[in-house]
């Protein structure tokens, strides 16, 4: 897991996993490995792990008393100042643990929020992350205050009175109201932009973080898109035009990657970005087929799609990174997924021709939404002819008494608009 950018003074952390009693060891390992990647992405230096399988979590410290002591020793031994839990801690558990350990304790949600804050680049994603952070903080104000007073060095640190907490809550609420208003405005602007390109075939990439969404966008559009072997490389949706040498270009949009147990605050605050998905003609659900955990990833992604109401859009599954599978593994995967995944293609971004199957599927999807029209327009109307070539395919052209006649395949929306245009005579045939 070569990490190049760990800060010089990276915070040293111990990971804590407390999986259910009956979870297979392989899954436990994979979850901890993912947590380690998250910790790395946040800039922490992981120097140990403590695992305890639980039938029921301890109400006050999540893990058992003996494990807390073991964790405390591990922290001292490695001179670590942070314990990162894979499970969600209640505010009370957080306080108790920090008291017992004498260091900061963080859960997965907090870690993910931290990474998002670190990675947010545009003003929209910054606002979205701030909303999520404030909501998370609001429910944990007391605990935050104990942090602050301890940092101040006060012995027997005294938390603030209820009155102070009330004031803080009001401040947070006011800020949240403002942020949400700004976000709504941005959302409106975005909706206007989308409307302007409504007639184009819009495709959106979704999937688990690190599956290869941005790589596919970069390959298909030939433009420079940020790709990195890290979690949450992309936070902002980016749209690029891809010319697939078929009927017109497509608009391909990249979106933020999902992850197991994505904090629901984050999903809610990224709704504006997810709107892109709602308006797409087709979703490309990209899956890292080389991950032993891809089915769990698939489910995590589906959960978010359902939660944000996007699950009814047509989906094409893109089983990516097949260059990492042996031929036999790929065959086995193909026969297994054929039955339950729905429409699917197998791809590799790094192999020559590895995206051909995807290009073909996109061309077919695009053709399927075109209708055949016969249009007659004045010869001097160069615009209509140019548009027919741009957004569709021209099958035939001819002249008759100063008018041009063409037979073309164009998007339904364009055919509809032409029908309303003065000077054009339009005959629409069935989508054959
Ligand atoms: N071997 C192999 N590696 C790939 C393939 N596609 C992408 N990768 C690598 O996988 C890593 C993640 O790729 P990205 O395109 O950034 O993934 P993403 O889905 O956009 O990730 P997030 O933005 O974090 O959600 C990069 O190191 C890519 O080079 C592939 O087909 N084969
Ligand atoms: Mg990306």
Instruction: Give me the DSSP letters along 48-112.
Output: EEEE--BSS-BTTTBS-HHHHHHHHHHHHHTT--EEEESSPPPHHHHHHHHHHHSSEEEEHHHHH
Alpha-carbon distances, residue 373 vs 180, 247, 378, 425 (angstroms): 45, 14, 16, 10
pLDDT band of residue 154 (cuts 50, 70, 90) is very low
pLDDT confidence tier of residue 161, bands split at 50, 70 and 90: low
Highest mean pLDDT among 35-44, 239-248, 304-313: 35-44
Residue nearest to atom 27 of ligand 1 (CA): 229
In degrees rounded to 5, what are phi and psi of residue 272?
Answer: -60, -45
Nearest-angstrom CA–CA distance, 426 and 374: 6
CA of 42 to the centre of ligand 2 (A): 17
- The whole-angstrom separation of Cα 390 and Cα 199 is 12
Stretch 18-43: mean pLDDT: 91
Instruction: Name the band, by pLDDT with cuts 50, 70 and 90, for residue 151.
Output: very low
Our answer on whether the CB atom of 228 is closer than 6 Å to any ligand 1 atom is: yes
Neighbours of 128 (CB within 10 A): 27
Over 50: is that where the pLDDT of 6 sits?
no
Cα 192 from Cα 275, distance rounded (Å): 12
Alpha carbons within 13 angstroms on the beta-carbon side of residue 11 total 18
Percentage of residues in the chain having pLDDT higher than 90: 44
Report the atom number in ligand 1 closest to the C-alpha of 320: 31
> Residue 170: exposed, middle, or buried by beta-carbon count in 10 A (0-12, 13-18, 19+)?
exposed
With cut-offs at 50, 70 and 90, classify the pLDDT of residue 23. very high
**CA 276–ligand 2 middle distance (angstroms):** 15
How confident is the model over 99-116, as a mean pLDDT? Answer: 90
Ligand number nearest CA of 227 is 1
Give the pLDDT confidence score for residue 205 in this predicted structure: 94
pTM exceeds 0.75: yes
Check pLDDT > 60 for residue 4: no
For 42-96, write each residue's pLDDT tens digit.
889 999 999 999 999 999 999 999 999 999 999 999 999 999 999 989 888 998 9
CB of 257 sitting under 6 A from ligand 1: yes
CA of 232, closest atom in ligand 1: 24
Cα radius of gyration rounded to whole Å, the chain: 27
Ligand 1: atom nearest CA of 211 is 19
Of residues 19 and 169, more confidence is placed in 19
Yes or no: say if 185 and 124 are a contact pair by the CB < 8 Å rule: no
Q: How many angstroms separate the alpha carbon of residue 301 from the centre of ligand 2?
A: 14
How far does the centroid of ligand 2 lie from the alpha carbon of residue 41, in Å?
A: 14
Residue among 122, 112, 274, 308 nearest 206 (CA)? 274
Select from 112, 118, 209, 215 the residue to mutate for testing ligand 1; criterion: most ligand atoms less than 8 Å from CB: 215
CB 97 within 8 A of CB 105: yes
96 HSE (CA, 13 A, CB side): 15
pLDDT at residue 118 is higher than 90: no
* Atom in ligand 1 nearest the alpha carbon of residue 349: 31
Considering only residues 55 and 271, tell me which one the structure prediction assigns the higher pLDDT.
55
How many beta carbons lie within 10 A of that of residue 153, not counting itself?
A: 7
Query: pLDDT tens for residues 286-337?
Result: 999 999 999 999 999 998 888 878 878 899 999 999 999 999 999 999 999 9
Ligand nearest to C-alpha 1:
1
Q: Classify 133 as helix, strand or coil.
A: helix
Chain center to CA of 232:
8
Report whether residue 41 contacts ligand 1, using a CB cutoff of 6 Å.
Answer: no
Mutate to test the pocket of ligand 1, among 349, 355, 357 (most ligand atoms within 8 A of CB): 349
The ligand 1 atom nearest the CA atom of 347? 31
**Atom of ligand 1 minimally distant from the CA of 210:** 21
SS3 (DSSP) at 425: strand
Any atom of ligand 1 within 6 Å of the Cβ of 324: yes
Higher pLDDT, 388 or 154: 388
Residue 231 beta carbon below 6 angstroms from any ligand 1 atom:
yes
Instruction: Give the pLDDT score at 376.
Output: 92
- What does the alpha-carbon distance between residue 271 and residue 261 come to, in Å, rounded to a whole number? 17
Distance (angstroms) between ligand 1 centre and the Cα of 113 equals 22
Compute the distance between CA of residue 348 and CA of residue 355 in angstroms, rounded to an integer.
6
- CA-based torsion, 289, 291, 295, 298: positive or negative: negative
CA–CA distance, 111 with 91 (Å, rounded to integer):
15
Per-residue three-class SS string for 176-238: HHHHHHHHHHHHHHHHHHHHHCCCCEEEEEEEECCCCHHHHHHHHHCCCCCCCCCCCCCCCCE
pLDDT value for 61: 93
Give yes or no for residue 432 having a pLDDT over 50: no
- The closest-lying atom of ligand 1 relative to the alpha carbon of residue 234 is 23
With a 6 A CB cut-off, is 237 part of the ligand 1 pocket? no
């Amino acid at each position: 897991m070569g990490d190049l950018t760990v800060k010089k003074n990276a915070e040293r952390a111990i990971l804590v996993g407390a999986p259910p009693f009956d979870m297979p060891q392989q899954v436990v390992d994979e979850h901890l490995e993912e947590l380690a990647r998250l910790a790395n992405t946040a800039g922490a230096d992981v120097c140990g792990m403590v695992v305890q399988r639980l039938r029921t979590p301890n109400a006050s410290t999540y893990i058992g008393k003996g494990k807390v002591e073991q964790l405390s020793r591990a922290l001292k031994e490695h001179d670590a100042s942070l314990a990162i839990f894979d499970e969600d801690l209640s505010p009370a558990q957080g306080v108790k643990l920090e008291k017992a350990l004498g260091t900061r304790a963080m859960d997965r949600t907090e870690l993910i929020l931290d990474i998002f804050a670190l990675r947010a680049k545009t003003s929209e994603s910054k606002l979205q992350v701030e909303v999520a952070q404030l909501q998370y903080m609001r429910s944990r104000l007391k605990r935050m205050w104990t942090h602050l007073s301890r940092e101040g060095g006060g012995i027997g640190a005294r938390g603030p009175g209820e009155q102070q907490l009330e004031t803080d809550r009001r401040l947070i609420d006011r800020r949240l109201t403002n942020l949400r208003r700004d976000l709504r405005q941005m959302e409106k602007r975005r909706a206007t932009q989308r409307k302007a390109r409504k007639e184009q075939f819009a495709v959106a990439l979704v999937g688990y973080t690190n599956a290869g969404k941005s790589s596919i966008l970069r390959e298909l559009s030939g433009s420079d898109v940020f790709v990195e072997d890290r979690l949450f490389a992309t936070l902002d949706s980016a749209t690029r035009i891809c010319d697939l040498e078929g009927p017109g270009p497509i608009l391909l949009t990249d979106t933020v990657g999902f992850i197991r147990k994505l904090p629901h605050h984050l999903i809610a605050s990224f709704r504006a970005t997810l709107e892109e998905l709602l308006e797409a003609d087709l979703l490309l659900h990209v899956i890292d087929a080389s991950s032993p955990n891809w089915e769990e990833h698939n489910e995590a992604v589906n959960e978010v799609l359902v939660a944000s109401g996007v699950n009814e859009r047509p989906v094409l599954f893109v089983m990516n990174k097949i260059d990492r599978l042996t031929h036999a593994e790929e065959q086995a995967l193909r026969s297994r997924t054929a039955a339950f995944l729905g429409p699917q293609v197998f791809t590799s971004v790094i192999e020559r021709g590895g995206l051909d199957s995807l290009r073909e599927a996109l061309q077919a999807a695009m053709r399927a939404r075109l209708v055949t029209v016969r249009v007659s327009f004045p010869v001097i109307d160069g615009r209509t002819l140019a548009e027919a070539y741009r957004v569709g395919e021209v099958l035939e052209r001819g002249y008759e008494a100063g008018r041009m006649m063409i037979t073309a395949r164009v998007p339904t929306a364009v055919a509809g608009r032409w029908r309303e245009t003065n000077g054009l005579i339009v005959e629409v045939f069935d989508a054959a």
